[in-house]
Structure 1
Amino acid sequence: MTTHAGNRAVDSAQELAEAALAESAADGCVVVVEEHSETNLRWAANALTTNGQARTRSLTVISTFERADGASAGVVTRAVTTAREVADLVHASEAAGRTARPTSEASPLVEPYEHDDDWAAAAAETSAAVFEDLVPALGAAFGRWRREGRLLFGYAEHQMSSCFLATSTGLRRRFDQPDGRLELTGKSGDLTRATWSGAHVPDFAGVDVTTVAEALGQRLDQSPERVALPAGRYETILPPAAVADLMICAYQKASARDADEGRNVYGAGGGSRIGERLSTLPLTLRSDPAEPGLRCSPFAIITAPESGMESVFDNGQPVSAVPWISRGHLTDLVRTRSWARHTGSRPRPRVGNLILDGGGDATLEQMIATTERGLLLTSLWYVREVDPRTLLSTGLTRDGVYLVENGRIRGTVNNFRFNESPTDLLGRLTEAGRSEHTLPRERSDRFRRTKMPAIRVPDFNMSTVSDAV
């Protein structure tokens, strides 16, 4: 074991990772270094209010131990800058691993394999320069909205995360993840009506704030009439952002182990429902780390394990494209290497993006035009699971529910609380439009990279009326 003393600063992420591995006395060790930079803008009531920049570095050390009763792991994450802090963190991870209970999710650490990562390259960074075209466009939009008696609120954020993963087996991998989001909320001058638009972007080049703001203004102007509707089941069009929030709910619970053991919606009669038809439409729900515009890590980075879904022992495992649902049929579920070995199946790590396609070519506007009478949603909020066995979830509509009659928006409807299961919706929807890159409203802090269509549900369950605007 190499001992580090003193407060010598550790400069690079790679040096940090190697120092932690050199300090380790565990049977196995995984080190994850994340360099994160972020810049953001906020605005309210047609004026910029704040801007900020931040840069952070975190070190996660996972110490594994082989014992007669099984393998255990200790996971500790801290912000560190000196060699002494690195050593203290490694020792804390080892102490946690030695006292942890054996885990059924254990596997041998991933062995090295060929890849084309540039391990030696410096961590990527973002800066306020990404907004150099956005700010003047926002200023012009503020002026128009002020003159027209409306209010524009919003948030723009760009992040760059560089993750470096090193293991005691000799594996070295790194990935740079750019991530940006733009959210705009438009409100009427009397604050009685609101609508929202969001976008996920790897950078802000080509982001057309002018067009987005104009579309929000048109939506407010075409829906001045207020229409009160009671709770009930309504034909409802959900835009891509709302569909993304629901499909993320379905994806985050797609544990093969829970399904095989009959504990989630994907299990039945003591086994999984793989092969069963979930949608009457030929929809495909898939993930692909190489998807254009939605690129994400091609290897597993796990610092917070989740039973049945992610194991720290699987760090560095290659991540590949996978269809979870293929032409309406459930085809695969998330599976750790340990559970795959136990069931004689293939490991399926989580992927950092989600795409639903296979529907038609109709745009949201075309779907509205073919609606005799129904509701159009803008976004969902505070979506929470109620029953894991059915994936029944509840949540609220937010920033605009509209009554559509004879292909036109007639007016703004009160908000609702809804009760629906995302997997059950797949079996009931009657139309899916063109898939497009979108930003989920509820889940955007944790899962942003999605591509979804608008969908039509003939009997969406609006369980109660909500007083929210």
Structure 2
Amino acid sequence: MAILTKEEAKKIIDKVLAFSKADEMSVALTGRRTGNIRYARNTVSTSGESTDLSLAVTAVYGKRSGTSTINEFDDKSLEKTVRRAEEIAKLAPENPEYMPMLGPQQYLESNTFVQSTANIDPAFRAKAAFDSIDPCTRKNLVAAGYLEDTTGFFATGNSKGLFAYNKSTSVDFSITVRTADGLGSGYAIKDYNDVSKLNTKAATEVAMQKAIASVSAQALEPGKYTVILEPAAAVDLLQNMMRSFDARSADEGRSFLSKKGGGVRLGEKLFDERVTIYSDPTNPDAPTSGFAGDGRAQEKVTWIDNGVVKNLTYSRFWADKKGVRAVPPPSGFIMAGGTQSLADLIKGTEKGILVTRLWYIRAVDPQTLLYTGLTRDGTFYIENGKIKFPVKNFRFNESPVIMLNNLEAMGAPVRISGNLIPPLKIRDFTFSSLSDAV
């Protein structure tokens, strides 16, 4: 019962709304089936599958709201949940920023569901784990990995006539490979809606190569270096930057998009002219739901166009206050890139450092988007277009805003963490100290 059809979900939501005595009511219905397999030291440690179906009811009186949740779906339980939400709403303080619920909306069709992913079973997971563990065992390497697949749906409706439904699948895989002495480490990560695109053996072989190659790392002096950030390294800094595209934070002077003395930097060129970032829920390689959690439509939006900030996200309250369109945050984003491969970027680098991924990232200054963190799982020195030797890991202090102004080259975008990100070649990337991380 965890995965309901659009018709089944609407039937339950309509039934709940029929019980309402509140001024307004919204219902959110979520279901998922999640499977996983985890292994460490070349041995499976846990595996399992779970299902969940839950419903949340929000009742509103004036500007007071209350929410109640339940995972039982008989009529008596549903009505009890409605009454509970109404009771909470009457006791709640007024929310001065409350906005009336939306009416019916039009949504883009997005292909987020793939049947082959929904068909994943324990035998498939076991084979995926074996394909990762076996090559490591044969080469006396140590694998630790995790695979999780999810099939789910989200439906929402309200007393104003809004109804939205989306069904989706996903599979996420990550692998860390260590040498037997623990001195070398490699990493790879993959995620897709369509499991047919996942090859755990191929991903593991990349991590194996990095683990073997990263033994006997040499220490380099901290400083500013040309770096090639693999997509797994670039994505975290870029995600942090995109989460900062909130108009209210900018208007209130709390953002790198705030102007000194007031105002926002919308329309300003803040990045290298080759930087274009947009979101598109219908993108075939990284599709997302056609609506946000509050029922607003997700559309194709360009956030940065040739280095110029084009759009910001707005809550409905802040958009109403400013008299503009309420643009929801994107579920994922796409950074336009070039056509070069990672190998091509390395070949074109006279001196630099290749970074597999970044880890333990923390904010230092939100107004400049300065972050600190560590490199990890394969950091290498490049000279004359070739990887010369592994280097000890660094602590970095860098802002994605500065980073995207020091852009030298970009490769072809690949999917990473639900986004499409190219490998990035950046000059003057700041490494502040060495790290003992492997």
Q: TM-score if structure 2 supplies the norm length?
A: 0.90
| Structure 1 counterpart SS, 2:39 | strand
**Residue in structure 2 matched with residue 434 of structure 1 by the alignment:** 412
**Residue in structure 2 matched with residue 283 of structure 1 by the alignment:** 275
Give the partner amino acid of 1:193: G
Do residues 466 (structure 1) and 435 (structure 2) align? Answer: yes
Is contact 2:319-2:326 (8 Å) kept? yes
Give the partner amino acid of 1:455: L
Do residues 107 (structure 1) and 94 (structure 2) align? Answer: no
State how far apart, in whole Å, the 1-side matches of 2:332 and 2:21 are.
36
Counterparts in 2 of 1:390-469, with a 5 A limit? 390-438=368-416, 448-469=417-438
**Residue in structure 1 matched with residue 112 of structure 2 by the alignment:** none
- Runs of at least 4 residues off by over 4 Å: 114-117, 124-128, 130-134
State how far apart, in whole Å, the 1-side matches of 2:106 and 2:326 are.
19
Do residues 161 (structure 1) and 152 (structure 2) align? Answer: yes
Is contact 1:134-1:204 (8 Å) kept? no
Shift of 1:349: 0.8
State how far apart, in whole Å, the 2-side matches of 1:27 and 1:326 are.
43
**Residue in structure 2 matched with residue 307 of structure 1 by the alignment:** none
Is contact 2:173-2:200 (8 Å) kept? no
State how far apart, in whole Å, the 2-side matches of 1:389 and 1:141 are.
42
Is contact 1:37-1:126 (8 Å) kept? no
**Residue in structure 1 matched with residue 227 of structure 2 by the alignment:** 236
**Residue in structure 2 matched with residue 316 of structure 1 by the alignment:** 295
Give the partner amino acid of 1:96: I
Do residues 62 (structure 1) and 58 (structure 2) align? Answer: yes
Shift of 1:466: 2.0
Tell me whether 236-245 or 16-25 shows the greater mean CA deviation: 16-25
Do residues 344 (structure 1) and 323 (structure 2) align? Answer: yes
Is contact 2:35-2:48 (8 Å) kept? yes
Counterparts in 2 of 1:133-148, with a 5 A limit? 135-136=126-127, 138-148=129-139
State how far apart, in whole Å, the 2-side matches of 1:287 and 1:115 are.
15
State how far apart, in whole Å, the 2-side matches of 1:396 and 1:19 are.
52
Seq. identity, % = 31
- For these two proteins, the number of residue pairs brought into alignment is 427
Structure 2: unaligned runs, 5 residues or longer: 1-6, 110-114
Distance 1:114 1:265, change over 3 A: closer
| Structure 2 counterpart SS, 1:34 | strand
Distance 1:130 1:375, change over 3 A: farther
Shift of 1:276: 0.9
1:332 pairs with 298, 311, 333, which one? Answer: 311
Is contact 1:13-1:35 (8 Å) kept? no
| Structure 1 counterpart SS, 2:34 | strand
| Structure 2 counterpart SS, 1:176 | strand
Structure 1: unaligned runs, 5 residues or longer: 1-10, 118-123, 302-314, 439-447
Counterparts in 2 of 1:31-42, with a 5 A limit? 31-42=27-38
State how far apart, in whole Å, the 1-side matches of 2:37 and 2:162 are.
38
| Structure 1 counterpart SS, 2:405 | helix
Distance 1:418 1:92, change over 3 A: farther
Distance 1:131 1:437, change over 3 A: farther
